[in-house]
Each structure stands twice: as C-alpha cells, then as structure tokens.
Amino acid sequence: MKKIATVIGARPQFIKAAPLSLEIANSGQLKEVCIHTGQHFDENMSGVFFRELGLPKPAYQLDIHGGPHGQMTGRMMEAIEAILMQDRPDAVLVYGDTNSTLAGGLVAAKLHIPVVHVEAGLRSFNRKMPEEVNRVLVDHISSLLLCPTSAAIENLTNEGITKGVHQVGDLMYDATLRLTSIAARHSRILEALSLEPKGYGVATLHRAENTDSPDALRKAIAFLVGLSEEVPLVLPLHPRTRKALADAGIEGTGSQLKLIDPVGYLDMHMLLSNASVVATDSGGVQKEAYFHRVPCITLRSETEWVETIDNGWNRLWHQEEYRPRREIQEYGTGDAAKRILELLRDAQL
C-alpha cells in the first residue's frame, strides 16, 4: 500500500486536510502519516480544528513557529528532512501556500520523493506576497498538481506546467457541506454575541500586507469601522493582527466593530452562514462567503479566487460594484476528497 506523508501547519491546512485524511482512512487504500509543523499552535488556531473536523492526531508534532520566514522555513526543513529520511514515504502531500507548504515540498523534492500539491495553480501575480513565492516554487517541484479551479489550471499552463495537472474541486467546500448543519445544531455563538441572523457582518484580517505596517493596518481598520457604521461587524482576530494592533497603539475601533478571539470551525460557519456581508483578506473565507451565498468584500488589491469576482459574489475593496450574480460551478460538488484519493491511489508516482 502506498504511503503518503502529509505536511500541515496552519489553520486553513487543518480544514483542507480533514476531508481528505478521513477519506483516506475510511478507504483503507492508502496509508497516511501526518506531520504537523507547529506553525499555528494556539488551541483556537490548531487543536479546535482537529477536534471539530475529526482530523486524526498527527504522527509527528514539530512545534516550530514564529521568527522570520527564512528561520521558520529552515527549521521546518531540517526537522521534516529527518522524518522523511527515516520514514521514506512514496509521496509528500502539501496544501496551499504557507511556509509549512514550502518546507515540506522542498525537502521532499531534494530527497527525490514526489510532491503532491493540493490547491496548485493559484496566483495573485504579486511576488511581494510571501504566499505567492511559496506556491510558485512548490508548483514547479510538484509531480501531481491538484487544482481547485479552471483559472488555476490556466495559470499552470501559462507557466509551462501541464503534466500531472488535474482539476479536483475545493476541499474547503467538502468541509463546509459536511459541517454546516452540525454547526447550526451545536454552535451558540449568535446567542453569546447577541447577534440576529442577517443583522451583522463578519470580518477577518491577517495578511502581511494589511498588518505589517501601522499605516496599512490603520487603513484596513478604518475601512472596517466605516463598514460597521452600516452593519455591525464581528472580527475574530488572528493573533498576528492582535499583536500588530497593540504594537501600532490602535485602540479606538468604534462600538460597532466587535473584536473577539479566533473562533473554532463550527462557530465560524455559524457566523458566516447567518451574516449579511463578509469583509476579509483571507483566501478561504472569500470562498466560504460564497458557499453560504453571502456577498464578500476582499480587503486586498487582487485575489487568487477570480471566479468569485467574475460571478458577482465578491469585490475588491477598491471596486464599487459587484458584477451580475451567477452560480459558480468550479468548486465541485463536495467530492474533492474522493477525487484526490482516486488520483493518489492510481498515480504512477
């Protein structure tokens, strides 16, 4: 039986990994060994997602986080290399575009272990974004490139990558379909925050471009404060942003912009599914807004998820209007995990 080593480390990766890890475990057709780099480590950034999404405990827990990019990635590479040299999996699977993705991909490629990249082909065409560097590099060393959208396939084609490329849909959609009704039964977040369905919006903010300079952070917060005067907003604060706000001495966010700690998956989906608007710089949350058919404002000057804009569910914050609204077919039918399992099982890696 093929053995796959999966490297994860950040919040969105636990969410993407859950449907696939469960599919692999239930199938009995592959063996998976999971390595958690530790990039995200707070209980509400890591542990809660394993519990709520039923993700098995990782075989390896590295506890590597913080520090500048080179240091974080380098330390991860050293630790992952030692594991892969001993464990010798048939392939290494990485998700998305974080430093954990790059570390896992680079180490595997140097050991001549085929790399499987889930969420391949996304591009912002902004090389100042650390994630863009990570995803471009990983795509170019991957043997199997599993793309969520046709735009992603096209981006890879434009870079000359056509071998091992497949469109498989979006694992986050699998997770949303499986857990939204469970969230509705179990989450008490609306009561806890005294929110009425459709009477509030949800915001998230954590991108380096919005948090690393006090000016950029002030601009993003001012935008959200302005929006909160139209509709009260809840902002579950990423630890990076909480620290950046404190460092920049930003306090007055107005009474209609409610800052709370990061919430678990079920509470987040309860919040999103009952919101009247979403404002975010997150990749995942832009799509999830659409999954719940809530209009989104993206707090960035570009997005990788271009189909959300083209089909009228999302707009960049400098755009005034939404385009005409249509359903998006790209994300699949909640069968991304099943399709990926079949490709992993059948691929000649």
Q: Catalytic site residues?
A: 206
Least gap, CB of 111 to ligand UD1 (angstroms): 22
Least gap, CB of 238 to ligand UD1 (angstroms): 6
- Among 18, 20, 45, 203, which residue sits at the site for ligand UD1 (rule: CB under 6 A)? 45
Residue 23 vs 281, nearer CB to ligand UDP: 281
Instruction: Count other C-beta atoms under 10 Å from residue 101's C-beta.
Output: 30
Query: Cα separation of 183 and 160, whole Å?
Result: 42
Tokens of 134: 């990570």
CB 32 within 8 Å of CB 2:
no
Q: How far is CA 175 from the centre of its chain?
A: 12
Examine residue 41 and tell whether it contacts ligand UD1 (CB under 6 A): yes
Examine residue 258 and tell whether it contacts ligand UD1 (CB under 6 A): no
Least gap, CB of 48 to ligand UDP (angstroms): 8
Which residues from 288-327 bind ligand UDP, rule CB under 6 A? 288
Q: Is 38 left (phi over 0), alpha (psi -120 to 50) or beta?
A: left
| CB-based contacts of 20, cutoff 8 Å, min separation 6 | 118, 171, 336, 337, 340, 341
What's the longest Cα–Cα distance across the chain?
57
- Among 21, 187, 204, 273, which residue sits at the site for ligand UDP (rule: CB under 6 A)? 204
Examine residue 99 and tell whether it contacts ligand UD1 (CB under 6 A): yes
Residue 167 vs 282, nearer CB to ligand UD1: 282
Which residues from 195-214 bind ligand UD1, rule CB under 6 A? 206
- Among 39, 155, 274, 286, which residue sits at the site for ligand UD1 (rule: CB under 6 A)? 39
Examine residue 4 and tell whether it contacts ligand UDP (CB under 6 A): no
Instruction: Count other C-beta atoms under 10 Å from residue 327's C-beta.
Output: 8
Examine residue 11 and tell whether it contacts ligand UDP (CB under 6 A): yes
**x/- track of binding to ligand UDP for residues 159-198 (CB under 6 A):** -------------x--------------------------
Examine residue 236 and tell whether it contacts ligand UDP (CB under 6 A): yes
Please spell the DSSP secondary structure of 149-187, one letter per residue: SHHHHHHHHHTT--TTEEE---HHHHHHHHHHHHHHHH-
Least gap, CB of 289 to ligand UDP (angstroms): 10
Examine residue 287 and tell whether it contacts ligand UD1 (CB under 6 A): no
What residue 99 binds from ligand UDP, ligand UD1, none (CB within 5 to 8 A, per partner kind)?
ligand UD1
Residue with tokens 């509400």: 44
Output DSSP code: residue 35. Answer: E
Q: What would you report as the CA-atom Rg of the chain, rounded to the nearest whole angstrom?
A: 19
> What kind and span of H or E run contains 7?
strand 3-8
Q: Which residues bind ligand UD1 (CB under 6 A)?
A: 10-12, 39-42, 45, 65-66, 97-99, 130-131, 206, 238-240
